[in-house]
Amino acid sequence: MTKYKYIEVTPIATAIGAEISGVDISMDIPEPVISEIRQALLEYLVIFFRDQDLSDPERHRSFSKRFGHLFVHPNFNMGQKDPEMVFIIRKPGDTAIVGETWHADTTMMKAPPMAAILYALEAPGCGGDTLFANQYLAYESLSEGMKKMLNGLKAVHNDSKVAGPKVGFNSKRSTIVREDDAWQLTENAHPVVRTHPETKRKGLFINSTYVQHLEGMTVEESEPILTYLYEHATRPEFSCRFRWRSGSVAFWDNRCVQHLAINDVQNSVRRMQRTQLVGDLVQ
C-alpha cells in the first residue's frame, strides 16, 4: 500500500475504492498533489472526494484537465455551451436513468475514455448510490482454462442500446440523449482481456451495455460466454458501493472498472455533472 504525503487516503472496501481527504480540488492544486491523486486512482481504481464545490463547470473542467484531455461524448453533445460536460438529471416521474446497467463508459469508441469525474450538484437524502466493480480481480479469479480461451478474443461494442431513434430513452428520463434520425452507429472491436497501459495488469473489458457479440461468433454462440462473464465481473466481492451527498465526487479509471447507478429514487431530484478524459487504443 502506497504511503501518501499530501493527501489522506481511506479505503472503503477491500476490492476497490478509497475516499480522499485533505485537498480542495476546486483550487489550483500543486503538481505533487495531483501526482498523488493519480497514484491513488491507479491503486484503488475509483476515488471519492467529499464536500467539494465544482458547481461552476469551469472548476470541474480545470480539475479534469490536470489528468488528461477532455472527451466530448457523441451522444450527449446536443449543441450545449459546454460540450465536454454531461449533465445527468433525474426528476420525480422518470422511469429510467442513465447508467442503470453495469457498464464501462462509452466503450463503442475506437479509443474509449480513460476515466470519468462525476460531481453531485444535488443528491437525495438516501438512495441513488453507485456500485463499482474491479475488473482486474474479475480476470484474475478466472480459471486458467478460461483465461487461455479469452486471451486473443475480441468483442464487438456499439451504442445501439443507448442511443439512436429506436431506444426511446428520452420519453422515460430527464437526461436527453441523441435519438434523431441523423444519429449514426459507432462500433469497434476491443480485446476481451485488456492490459492496462499504466499498471500493466490484465482485466476484463466487456460489459452488457455496449457489447453485442464476440468477434467471429454469432450472437447466439457468444451469449453463454458473455452472460457468464457479465455475472462474474460484477460479483459483490469485487465491488464497492458509494453513497452520494451533494458536493461529492467520484473519479474512476474506466480502463479497469465497471459501474452501475442504482435506480431506487422515486420522488427526489438527483443532479450530476460529468467530464470524461480521452483514452487510448485498447491493447
Place of cell 451527498: 245
Q: List per-residue pLDDT tens for the chain, 283 residues long.
A: 899 999 999 999 999 999 999 999 999 999 999 999 999 999 999 999 999 999 999 999 999 999 999 999 999 876 678 899 999 999 999 999 999 999 999 999 999 999 999 999 999 999 999 999 999 999 999 999 999 999 999 999 999 999 999 999 999 999 999 999 999 999 999 999 999 999 999 999 999 999 999 999 999 999 999 999 999 999 999 999 999 999 999 999 999 999 999 999 888 999 999 999 999 999 9
Q: Is residue 139 part of a domain?
A: yes
> Residue 203: what are its φ and ψ, rounded to 5°?
-150, 160
Domain with 207, as residue range(s), is 8-277
Distance CA 201, CA 138 (A): 12
Give the pLDDT confidence score for residue 261 in this predicted structure: 97
Q: Is 43 exposed, middle or buried (0-12, 13-18, 19+ CB in 10 A)?
A: middle
Distance CA 47, CA 42 (A): 9
Give the pLDDT confidence score for residue 209 in this predicted structure: 98
Distance CA 212, CA 146 (A): 20
Give the pLDDT confidence score for residue 81 in this predicted structure: 80
Q: Is residue 130 part of a domain?
A: yes
- Tell me how far the alpha carbon of residue 219 is from its chain's centroid: 25
- The residues facing 239 across adjacent strands are 133
Q: Is residue 232 part of a domain?
A: yes
The residue count of the chain comes to: 283
- The CATH number of the domain where 69 resides is what? 3.60.130.10
Q: Is residue 2 part of a domain?
A: no
Per DSSP, the three-state class of 254 is coil
Sequence letter at residue 200: K
Distance CA 42, CA 169 (A): 34
Distance CA 19, CA 161 (A): 33
Q: Is residue 3 part of a domain?
A: no
- DSSP structure class, residue 70: B
Q: Is residue 1 part of a domain?
A: no
Give the pLDDT confidence score for residue 79 in this predicted structure: 67
Q: pLDDT tens across 63-108, in order?
A: 999 999 999 999 987 667 889 999 999 999 999 999 999 999 999 9
Q: How many domains does the chain have?
A: 1
Neighbours of 54 (CB within 10 A): 23
What residues contact residue 61 under an 8 Å CB cut-off, 6+ apart? 70, 82, 84, 85, 275
> Residue 273: what are its φ and ψ, rounded to 5°?
-135, 145
